[in-house]
Amino acid sequence: MTMAHGLPHQDSVGYESIRAWLGDRCGISYPDHKANLLRQRLARVTHTYALRDLNELAGAITKGDRQDVELAVMHAASTNHTFFFREPEVLDVFAENILPQLAGRDEIRIWSAAASTGDEAYTIAMLVAEKLGPAALRKLSILGTDISAPVVESAEKAVFSDRALSQMDVAMRSRYMTPAGEGMFQVNEPLRKTCTFRRLNLKATPYPFAKQFQVVFCRNILYYFEPEDQAATLRAIYDATEPGGFLVTSVTEAVRDLCDAWIPVTTGIYRRG
């Protein structure tokens, strides 16, 4: 039997088909050295839906009549490791330099793209309350989007383990969160009301927003995309951002090389001209 990447030929064909589908449909790229990781995640999907192997799974998603399986594969492939106050050096610039510029606005509109379970969106809400005062929450609207339906549902519940809160100041946690069972905490209602969560595929451009955002967070997701999808996503985010608005990325993502319309401000921060 022919082997490829340590897989029987039949499963190898299915694996490559799924990998290509993820790239075409979602812009998610899995290099060869991450094959075992993706195979492990896909194996859980085949088990859940009683499919024989990756070849049958590939057939199920490419026919287009099994949205439940398609969503499960998207969820399995997307990385959802996140926590509150991730990359504090970037958040500090947002709080100290960007938020004061929004203080006088009638509306503050922020988009957390690839929001995962909502840690980032609720972190942003806390920073607004801390920097601009609790009254600012009444004019704050944060949209959190993710391709994975299960993490969107989790974000709406706003319940997190103490592990997700390990980088959060304890005093801040007591101000904005309430104990919700052993080792669990729920974000308080005033912050929850500022956040709305929806499914969105970042590759499905242009984005369907009625109003532009003043700040867009797009962190720790672009490097899962192929370069052409990275560039297309950054152009679409540019169009969804107000003139003079900001893009907040991860410190490891070089936006300028992919879309020179964004003006660098400092590490991880860009501005729309």
CATH number of the domain to which 237 belongs: 3.40.50.150
Residue 31 has pLDDT above 70, yes or no: yes
Q: Answer yes or no: do 260 and 157 share one domain.
A: yes
Q: Answer yes or no: do 152 and 25 share one domain.
A: no
* Residue 82 placed within a domain: no
How does 110-142 read in b/e, with b if 16+ C-beta sit within 10 Å?
Answer: bbbbbbbbbbbbbbbbbbbbbbbeeebbeebeb
Q: Answer yes or no: do 107 and 60 share one domain.
A: no
27: pLDDT confidence band, cut at 50, 70 and 90? low
Alpha helices in the chain (DSSP H): 9-26, 35-48, 54-63, 67-77, 88-93, 99-102, 119-132, 149-157, 170-176, 189-192, 227-239
- The residue among 77, 107, 127 that closes a domain is 77
**Whole-number pLDDT of residue 80:** 57
- The residue among 77, 105, 124 that closes a domain is 77
> Domain span at residue 164?
88-272
* Residue 156 placed within a domain: yes
* Residue 164 placed within a domain: yes
Domain count for the chain, please give it: 2
Residue 254 has pLDDT above 60, yes or no: yes
* Residue 83 placed within a domain: no
Give me the mean pLDDT over the 13-19 stretch. Answer: 92
Give me the mean pLDDT over the 4-24 stretch. Answer: 74
**Whole-number pLDDT of residue 206:** 92
For 28, counting Cβ atoms within 10 Å of its Cβ (0-12 exposed, 13-18 middle, 19+ buried), the class is buried
Residue 177 has pLDDT above 60, yes or no: yes
pLDDT tens per residue across span 92-108: 999 999 999 999 999 99
2: pLDDT confidence band, cut at 50, 70 and 90? very low
**Whole-number pLDDT of residue 262:** 94
Residue 26 has pLDDT above 80, yes or no: no
Q: Answer yes or no: do 128 and 18 share one domain.
A: no
Mean pLDDT computed over every residue of the chain? 89
Is the backbone peptide bond immediately before 206 cis, with ω within 30 degrees of 0?
yes
0.95 exceeded by the pTM? no
CA distances to 98, 155, 185 from 245, in Å: 9, 25, 33
Residue 3 has pLDDT above 50, yes or no: no
For a pLDDT cut of 70, what percent of the chain falls above it? 93
- The residue among 48, 77, 106 that closes a domain is 77
